[in-house]
Amino acid sequence: MYEVRFHGRGGQGAVMAAQALASAAFKEGYYAVAFPYFGAERRGAPVLAFTRMDKQKIRRKNQVYNPSFVVILDDRLIDLVNVSEGLNPSGAAVVNTRKSPEEIDLGMEIKVGVVDATSVALEVLGVPITNSAILGAFAKTTGVVSIEAVEEGIRDIFGGRIGKEAGEKNAKAARVAYDRTVVGTSRGEKKMVSKKQWLPTVQELPLGLATRSMETDAGLVGPGSFVENKTGSWRTFKPVFNRDKCVMCLLCWFYCPEGAIKRVDGGKTLEFDFDYCKGCGICAEECPTKAIEMVRD
């Protein structure tokens, strides 16, 4: 049985990619299952999706812990999430990146297929949505499914969801990505760390979960503890602040949904907190003196 774990961000269509791969595998004679990580993540937040493929009926309903392959829709996720956790060393990784295989460090030396799926998507679809293109790279890297089956799977899932024409275009994106995919071996120098989680015992857990602010081995929990969650990693665009143009009207400070803009120097100027800025662009849009500009992060 092959198990595939997709690493994407909310809104990038990782679940649709997993489903299209299942459909492709089905066309190749596999029994295939695709499912999301059942969470409630919002746009931009790291998310997971899974595909299982086997020659016989797949009865296993638990989550995937030791994937044969991981598919990474955004190479910046490598620094955020332990993308190679549990990855079978005889498997492979597929990464959307501008880097070469040798420049990718997954904390283990493993077969890796790379493609600049974002550029492919922009060229073919006109939008930077990479969930179809990346499947072409998957076919090229793993050989588990043919590119023809991937195209069919995309026509099936994407076509059914967003229209026949869009399905066709996405199939084309996969084909272009297939042709451009370079397969090599990743570096294994980085120490991959999984995010620590607070897992108290029954005895440690506050009664009825009525929780005060407290420090745990995984950081702060309780009131005001969301600061532990650095949402800056969600960003694709980043505000660049030109202090000279700023008139301190404070509209950006007021409008920031994250509170990622701070008054500093006794209220004389502003500072952007990139730990949390999600790059929504409201600040730049609303700045009356155009002192903020959004650039690709």
Partner 1 sequence: MSVSKVVTGNYAAAYGALLSRIQFAAAYPITPQTFIVEHLSEFVHDGLLDADYVRVESEHSAMSAVVAAEATGVRSFTATSSQGLALMHEVLFLPSALRLPIVMPVVNRTVAAPIGIWCEYNDTMPQRDSGWIQAYVEDNQEVLDMVIQAYKIAENKDVLLPVMLSMDAFILSHTVEPVEFPDQEAVDAFLPSYKAEHAHLWPEDPMIIGSFTPPEYIQEVRYQTDQAMKAAREVIKRVTKDFASAFGRNYGGLVEEYRTDDAEVVLVTLGTVTSTARDVVDEMRDEGKKVGMVKLRYFRPYPFEEIRKVAEGVSAIGFYDRSISYGSGGPSYIEGRHALYGLEIPVMNFLAGLGGRDVRVPDIKLMFEKLLEAAREGKAKKDIVWIGTRGVEP
Partner 2 sequence: MINIKDLPDEELFTAGHTACPGCGVALVVRNLMKVLGKDTVVYLPANCLLVFSATYPLDAFKVPYLHLLFENSAVAAGAIRRALKRLGKEHVNVVALAGDGGTADIGMQALSGAAERNEDIIYVMVDNEAYMNTGIQRSGSTPFGAWTTTTPVGKKIMGKTEHKKDVMKIMMAHDVPYAATASPAFPADMLKKFEKAKNKEGFRFLQIYTTCPTGWRAPSEKTITLAKMAVETGIFPLLEYENGLLTVNYRPKGKYTLEEYLKIQGRFRHFTPEMVEEVKRWIDMRWKWIRTIEEGQKVVSGGE
Tell me how far, at minimum, the Cβ of 65 lies from partner 1, in Å.
15
The region, left, alpha or beta by phi > 0 then psi within -120 to 50, assigned to residue 27 is alpha
Q: Among residues 93, 70, 96, which one has the least CA distance to residue 187? A: 93
Residue with token string 């990693």: 233
Q: Residues 232, 277: contact at Cβ < 8 Å?
A: yes
Q: How far is the CB of 263 from partner 2 (least distance, A)?
A: 6
* 215 lines the binding site for partner 1 (CB under 8 A): no
The enclosing H or E element of 282 equals helix 282-286
What's the DSSP call for residue 265? T
Output phi, psi for 122, to 5 deg.
Answer: -65, -40
The residue to which tokens 């120098």 are assigned: 189
Among 126, 208, 257, 266, binds partner 1 (CB under 8 A): 208
Q: Which of 62, 90, 194, 197 binds partner 1 (CB under 8 A)?
A: 197
Which CB, 194 or 201, lies closer to partner 1?
201
Least distance CB 216 / partner 1 (angstroms)? 13
105 to 51, 109, 131, 224: CA distances (angstroms): 24, 8, 22, 35
CB of 132: closest distance to partner 1 in angstroms?
A: 30
Determine, following the binding rule CB under 8 A, whether residue 62 of this chain makes contact with partner 1: no
**Comparison of 222 and 259: residue with beta carbon closer to partner 1:** 222
Which of partner 1, partner 2, none does residue 280 bind to, with CB < 5 to 8 Å depending on kind?
partner 2
Q: Which of residues 29, 39, 89, 160 is near partner 1 by CB under 8 A?
A: 39
- Asked if residue 200 binds partner 1 (CB under 8 A), the reply is yes
Measured from the CB atom, is 59 or 212 closer to partner 1?
212
Q: Does 213 bind partner 1 (CB under 8 A)?
A: yes
**Could you say which of partner 2, partner 1, none residue 234 binds, taking C-beta under 5 to 8 angstroms by partner kind?**
partner 2
- Spatial neighbors of 112 by CB under 8 A, at least 6 apart, are 92, 93, 94, 95, 101, 104, 106, 141, 183, 184, 185, 186
Q: Which residues bind partner 1 (CB under 8 A)?
A: 39-40, 197, 199-202, 205-213, 222-223
